[in-house]
Chain A
Amino acid sequence: MSLILFLVIAGIEAEAYDTPNDDGSSITTTWTTDTKFESFEILRSENPEEGFEKIYEVNKKTSRYIDSQVQGGVQYYYKIKGQSADIELLSEAVGPVKAMAQIFNTGRSNIAICIFILFFAIIYYITRARRGEKLFIRKIPGISAIEEAIGRATEMGKPVLYVPGIMDIDEPETIASMSILGRIAEKTAEYGTPLYVPTSKAMVMSMAQQVVKESAIKVGRPDWFNADNIRYLTDDQFGYVSAVDGIMVREKPATNFYLGKFYAESLILAETGFSTGAIQIAGTALPDQLPFFVAACDYTLLGEELYAASAYLSQEPTQLGSLKGQDFGKLIFVIVVVIGVLTRLLGTEFFYNLFNTMP
C-alpha cells in the first residue's frame, strides 16, 4: 500500500501575477519545487475560505500555467498541488491577483524603437529630397535593363510577358510588382507593344487590369489597352506555371519579366523562357528562389532591389529619398550586428537581450 502524504507545507514555491502585455483576460501562475512530481494541479478560488477548485492539470515538465478563464476586475487566489504515486504536496495560497489590461505591449518596445528610428530616417531623407537635394542612388543593372528589354520586344514586333508572381495581393512582393507593372505598362503602351499579364489570383488580375489601364491613359494610349491580355489562369501553382509556359511557347514573347513572389515554379518559368530566346529580368525577395533566377535569367533583382525598383524607375525625389532612408536603416543594422557579435564574444548578454522579443 502506498503511503499518501497530504501536507500543507511550503514544498512548492508558487507565484501568481497578472499576465503581462495582454488584454486583461488572463493570470499566469508559475511554480518551482525540488520534489519530483508526475503532474501538477492548478487550484483557484475567489475566496480562500470557501475552498479551492481544480481548474487544470499539467504534466511534470510544465511549471507555468496561463489561466484565461478569468473575469476582469475579480480577485483570484491560486494553489499548486504536486502529485506523484507516493506523495501529494500543496503550495501555500498566492494572491489576490487581478487580471488587468495593459495599454502598451512593453515586450515589443524594442521593435517600436527600431521602427521609429527607421521611419524617422526615411522621412528625414524624403524631406531632404523634397527640398531639392540631389541624392545618389547606385545603378541597379536589372532595373536599367528594363527599358532596353522593352525596346528589344518592340523592335522584334513581339509581345512582353509580365508574371507578377503566384501569391495574392496581401504579399508585399506582389504590391511591389504591381508598382513596377505600372511603370512598365507606361513604356509598352507608349511603344504600342502588347503586354501579357497572366495572374494566379483573381484579385491580382483585377488590380493588374486597373494598373495597366491607368498607365495607358496616362501616356495617352487608352486604345492600346486590352483587358483580355491580363487574365486569371488558376490558383493552382503548377497549373499556373504550365499555362504560362504555354503562353511563352505559343506567343514567343521577346521579353519576360518575373517580378513578385515565386516558389518552386521559378526555375520552370525561367528555363522555358530561356528556351524561347527571350531576354529575362526577374526579381523576388525570397532567398531560396533567387539562385534559380540568377542561374537562368539575364538580370535578377535581389531582395530589396525589387522593392526599390518602382522608386528607382520613377526617379521622383521623394521616392529616391525613401531609398536613402532605407540604406541608413541598413547601416544602423550593420552597426548593431557588429556590436552584438563583439559583446557576445566577450561574454556579455546585455546587448543581445535588448533585441529579444516577447509575444
Chain B
Amino acid sequence: MNILDRLVKFDRRILFVFVALAVIIPLLIPIGLPVDITRPVKHVYDRVESLPEGSIVVVSVDYDPGSEAELYPATEAFLEHCFRKNLRVYMMGLWPAGPKLGNMALEQIAPKYNKEYGVDYINIGYRPGGPVMLVSLGRNVADLVRTDYAGTPIDSLPLGRAVKSARDMDLVMTLSAGDPGVLHWIIYFSARYGTPIATATTAIMAPQQYPYLSSRQLIGLLGGLKGAAEYETLVERKARAVAGMDSQSIVHLLLVAFIILGNMVLLYQRRKK
C-alpha cells in the first residue's frame, strides 16, 4: 500500500498532532518574522494619533473568554496607545464578561503610565440591552449609567461627569466577537450620532467588516491576532500577538501543505477509477 493509499483512509488525529506541533514549536523557538502593516490597522493607529490630549475614547469590550486569545492582545495594545497619547479611556461592554476582561487589561497597562482611575480612565461595566442601550447611551448617558463597574457613583468621578452623551466621545473602539458588537455600534450609535467607530474583531468576523470599511462606516479594523500583532508593532509593544505570528505562519503553511496533499489524493483516486 503506497502513501497515497494510506492517505485515503487518513485518520484526522494525525493532522491534529501536526497542527499542535506547528503551534507549540515556534512559541518555544521564535523565528521572529517581521509583521507587515496593513491599511485598515494603520487607519486606526493614525486616528488615535490625531486625537488631541484629553480626548475621550470609548473602549467597548464586546467579547468573552472564548475570544480572549485573539482580542485581549488588541485590547492591551490599544489601551497602551491611548494612555501613551494621554487620552481618556471610558470602558464598557455589551457582553457580560467583557468589562472584566477589559479591567484585567486596564490593571496591566494603566499603572505603567501613572494613570488615575476616575480621572484618566473609568470602567462602567456591562450594559445590557444591545441596540436599545446604545441609542439611550448616545442621547443621554445619565439615563443609563449611575455607577461604575465597582458600584461607585458615576458623578463622583471626574471622567464620569465629563461624558454626558455621544458628543463627548471622540472615538469608539469596539473589540467585538459577535452579537451585540460592531454592527450595533455602527447602526445604532455612529449612524445616529456621527461618532467614528474603529473595531478589532476575531479573524472569522474580519472579512464581514470590509463593506463597512469601504463605505467609511468604520474608520479602521484590526482583524484577528494578525491585526493585534500589527497594532503591537505600530505602538512598539511586542507582546503576545507578535509572538503568536510565528506559530500562525507555520500553521498556515502546514494547512496549505495538507490541502495540496488532499488534492494529490483526489487526483490519485480519479486515476485509480
Chain A residues in the interface with B (C-beta under 8 A) = 59, 65-66, 68, 167, 171, 236-238, 261, 263-264, 275, 286-289, 357, 359
Contacts and interface: CB of A to CB of B under 8 A. Distances in A.
Nearest to B170: A59
B178 A288 contact: no
A263 B66 CA distance: 11
B126 to A, nearest CB: 13
A166 to B, nearest CB: 9
B208 A288 contact: yes
Contacts of B177: 263-264
Interface stretch (B113-121, B153-161, B199-207, B236-244): B199-207
B51 to A, nearest CB: 10
Interface string B81-108: 0000000000000000000000000000
A286 B204 CA distance: 11
What 5 A-B pairs come out closest when comparing CB atoms?
Answer: A238-B66, A359-B192, A263-B178, A288-B208, A237-B66
A359 B207 contact: no
Contacts of A238: 65-66
A167 B202 contact: no
B207 A288 contact: yes
A283 B112 CA distance: 48
Contacts of B165: 68
Nearest to B64: A237
A237 B177 CA distance: 11
30 contacts: A65-B167, A66-B167, A68-B165, A171-B179, A236-B64, A237-B64, A237-B66, A237-B178, A238-B65, A238-B66, A261-B179, A263-B177, A263-B178, A263-B179, A264-B66, A264-B177, A264-B178, A264-B202, A275-B12, A286-B208, A287-B207, A287-B208, A288-B204, A288-B205, A288-B208, A289-B204, A357-B191, A359-B191, A359-B192, A359-B193
B204 A59 contact: no
B224 to A, nearest CB: 11
B52 interface: yes
Contacts of A288: 204-205, 207-208
B67 interface: yes
A259 B165 CA distance: 39
B62 to A, nearest CB: 12
Contacts of A263: 177-179, 204
Contacts of B67: 264
Interface string B184-206: 00000001110000000010110
Nearest to B191: A359
B241 to A, nearest CB: 18
Contacts of B202: 264
A296 B165 CA distance: 46
Contacts of B178: 237, 263-264
Listed residue (A167, A238, A264) with the most chain B CB atoms within 10 angstroms of its CB = A264
Nearest to A25: B139
A167 B192 contact: no
Contacts of A68: 165
A38 B180 CA distance: 38
Given A66-B167, A287-B208, A288-B204, A167 B66 contact: no
A193 to B, nearest CB: 29
Given A263-B178, A264-B178, A286-B208, 16 more contacts: A59-B52, A65-B167, A68-B165, A236-B64, A237-B64, A261-B179, A264-B66, A264-B67, A264-B177, A275-B12, A287-B208, A288-B205, A288-B207, A357-B191, A359-B191, A359-B193
Contacts of B179: 167, 171, 261, 263
A66 B167 CA distance: 9
A238 B191 CA distance: 32
A261 B181 CA distance: 15
Nearest to A274: B12
Contacts of B167: 65-66
Nearest to A275: B12
A275 B12 CA distance: 10
Nearest to B166: A66
Q: Name the residue among A263, A357, A359 with the largest chain B CB count within 10 angstroms.
A: A263
